[in-house]
Amino acid sequence: SKSSQPVEKFFNQLLIARATDLARDGQFVEAEDILLRDGGIRDSEAATDLLARIAIHQGQTERAKRLWESLLEKNPGFDCSIGADVSC
């Protein structure tokens, strides 16, 4: 329902923040679990970008590129560069 959208968005932001903290601490599996649990966080550029960044840290460059490509299809202006070494 439309009235539950702000609550869902807020909850998703909390989940992304928690997953970001875990990823910063090197707990990539735990971070992915939060982002993908129960079908994952839907329609979230931030969640997809974080999954791509986690993939890079895990040496899964092709997976990261696929995730970023999906973001760029939805939003051609999305900036997913993470430094001089890797970008989408």
Return d(Cα 59, Cα 85) in angstroms, integer. Answer: 13
Q: Is the pLDDT of residue 44 over 50?
A: yes
pLDDT class for 4, splitting at 50, 70, 90?
low
Return d(Cα 63, Cα 52) in angstroms, integer. Answer: 7
pLDDT class for 53, splitting at 50, 70, 90?
very high
Q: Can you give the pLDDT at residue 79? A: 78
Backbone torsions φ then ψ of 34, nearest 5 degrees: -65, -45
Q: Are 17 and 9 in contact (CB under 8 A)?
A: no
For the stretch 20-34, pLDDT in tens is: 999 999 999 999 999
Give the type of residue at 77. G
DSSP string, 29-73: HHHHHHHHGGG--TT-HHHHHHHHHHHHHTT-HHHHHHHHHHHHH
